[in-house]
């Protein structure tokens, strides 16, 4: 019961939580004796306090997150993601402040995978956005949309590298509830999960205004347009621009959100299907 209450406070009152509780209890029973000892319960409880571990469990059915390989006490191990950035190489951290953004962009372009492989990775990222929008255990928001937080494996399948940058809707609502503000920036969770500030009441409203999809399309603009096939480039640019302008409450734009996402996925998939890159 304690597990269920804890999950409800973090993920919301989802009808599917009973299955997640069963999964947690099975995982806690390390010696497989059909019972959860006090030590085993303390161990799994400590793990559940880690945001990224809870999110990993919540998204375990999705192919775009790292697989959990094992755990001991409050430590856990996941599969290695070979490429922990959308680009094949990044400028060394100590050089980043010294070089203009144009040099960063050139380095990314030189070492990025071939365009069809980038298209495949992008399709995976779009699928991940689709999965966490009204997913099995509620809504999730990417709160730091950076090419450094997303990557891919050796088959060029997209993988979410850093789940610490993903938050549940309940977490964000808890952060925003009753929060004093003067402007919208005061209502920002993480780096870019922003709600509007009610300037009359001086309080944050409860819903994030920019959907995951708009932020991801901003990330994909340079990634996909560089080296894009000439017969695709104009339409791709148009669709990415439409996608980046998505705004408003996600609950009021679900159909439009899905339409834009599916159009973009279809455009990319048609170009690489029936090739060695698919």
pLDDT at 256: 83
Pick the CATH number of 93-170+207-272 from 1.10.260, 1.10.510, 2.70.98, 2.40.50: 1.10.510
Which segments in the chain show pLDDT lower than 50?
A: none
What is the token pair recorded at 224? Answer: 């996909």
pLDDT at 244: 94
pLDDT at 252: 58
What is the token pair recorded at 201? Answer: 């009441």
Q: What stretch(es) of the chain map to CATH 1.10.510? A: 93-170+207-272
pLDDT at 134: 76
Measured distance CA(181)–CA(158) in Å, rounded: 37
Question: With contact defined as beta carbons under 8 Å apart, do 122 and 220 qualify?
Answer: yes
Give me the count of residues in the chain: 278
CB < 8 Å & 24+ apart, contacts of 189-194: 189/141, 189/143, 190/143, 190/144, 190/165, 191/143, 191/144, 191/145, 191/146, 191/165, 192/143, 192/144, 192/145, 193/141, 193/142, 193/143, 193/167
pLDDT at 107: 65
Q: Is the dihedral of CA 150, 156, 158, 161 positive or negative?
A: negative
pLDDT at 267: 97
pLDDT in tens, 117-163: 999 999 999 999 998 887 788 889 999 999 888 999 999 999 999 89
**N- to C-terminal Cα distance for the chain?**
45
């Amino acid at each position: 019961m304690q597990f269920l209450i804890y999950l409800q406070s973090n993920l919301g009152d989802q009808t599917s939580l009973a299955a997640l509780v069963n999964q947690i209890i099975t995982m806690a029973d390390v010696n497989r004796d059909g019972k959860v000892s006090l030590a085993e319960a303390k161990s799994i409880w400590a793990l559940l306090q880690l945001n990224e571990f809870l999110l990993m469990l919540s998204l375990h059915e999705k192919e775009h997150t790292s697989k959990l390989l094992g755990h001991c006490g409050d430590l856990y191990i996941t599969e290695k993601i070979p490429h922990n950035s959308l680009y094949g190489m990044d400028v060394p951290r100590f050089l980043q402040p010294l070089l203009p953004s144009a040099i960063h962009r050139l380095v990314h372009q030189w070492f990025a995978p071939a365009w069809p492989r980038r298209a495949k990775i992008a399709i995976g990222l779009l699928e991940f956005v689709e999965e966490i929008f009204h997913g099995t255990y509620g809504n999730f928001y990417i709160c730091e949309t950076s090419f450094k937080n997303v990557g891919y494996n050796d088959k060029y399948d997209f993988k979410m590298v850093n789940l610490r940058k993903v938050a549940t809707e309940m977490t964000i609502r808890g952060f925003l509830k009753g929060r004093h503000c003067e402007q919208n920036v005061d209502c920002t969770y993480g780096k870019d999960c922003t709600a509007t500030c009610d300037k009359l009441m001086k309080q944050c409203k409860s819903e994030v205004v920019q959907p995951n999809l708009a932020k991801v399309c901003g990330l994909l603009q340079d990634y996909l347009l560089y080296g894009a096939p000439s017969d695709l480039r104009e339409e791709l640019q148009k669709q990415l621009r439409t996608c980046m302008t998505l705004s408003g409450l996600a609950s009021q734009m679900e159909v439009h959100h899905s339409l834009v996402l599916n159009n973009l996925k279809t455009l990319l998939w048609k170009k690489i299907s029936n090739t060695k890159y698919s």
